[in-house]
Amino acid sequence: MDASDIDVISRFHDIRNLMYHNGSGITVSLEIVDQYIDVAKLLFFGLYSQELVVDEESQIEQELGIYLKTYADFISYHRRSLKERDKGEMAFYWKTKIFEKINPALAKVYLDCQSFHMSITGVDPDRDEFKRIPEYIKKIELLHNEVSKFVNDVVRYDRYLKEE
């Protein structure tokens, strides 16, 4: 391992920090993931003198990938559809308001989805929750569709944007 390897690892760490701290809700491109895997394999070999074999994706990994893409697409659209945040308003409440306008029951679904997301993507993910991924893909798709319908209802959406 030399200085250029450390630079590559540092670059990946910087990408991770930008995504985590800026909270854009989007994930890295597949190309970056592939590069990261290549570096991880080199590091593993350097540490253990054994090749790291990456098996085919499991069903859970495939579902997790679909979930994360669905979630990222939804969060990106959701944030673009929100009205400007009031000064001092907590982000949590700001992001939930649109669902309360559309249908208060959707606000509960949104909060449930956020809780689930934290349980599977946090520092210590709850692997038992992974079996519920298909259920939450459907919930997120529902939220995305409802926000989309709301945004496309020009009269209601315009009223929402102008509210104090």
Are 70 and 49 members of one domain?
no
The DSSP call for residue 84 is P
Q: Clarify whether residues 35 and 94 are in a common domain.
A: no
Task: Please indicate, yes or no, whether residues 157 and 109 belong to a single structural domain of this protein.
Answer: yes
Per this entry, what is the length of the chain?
164
108 with 146, same domain: the answer is yes
The total number of structural domains that make up the chain: 2
Same domain (yes/no): 91, 157? yes
33, 54, 75: which is the final residue of a domain? 54
Q: What is the CA radius of gyration of the chain?
A: 20
Claim to verify: residue 66 and residue 18 sit in the same structural domain: no
Structural domain of residue 136, as residue ranges?
Answer: 56-164
Cα-based distances in Å from 132 to 26, 91, 164: 21, 27, 38
What pLDDT tens digit does each residue of the chain (164 aa) get? 566 667 777 887 787 777 766 655 566 666 777 787 888 888 888 888 888 877 666 777 788 888 988 998 898 889 888 888 888 888 888 889 899 989 999 999 999 999 999 888 877 777 788 889 999 999 999 999 999 999 999 899 998 888 86
91 and 23 in one domain?
A: no
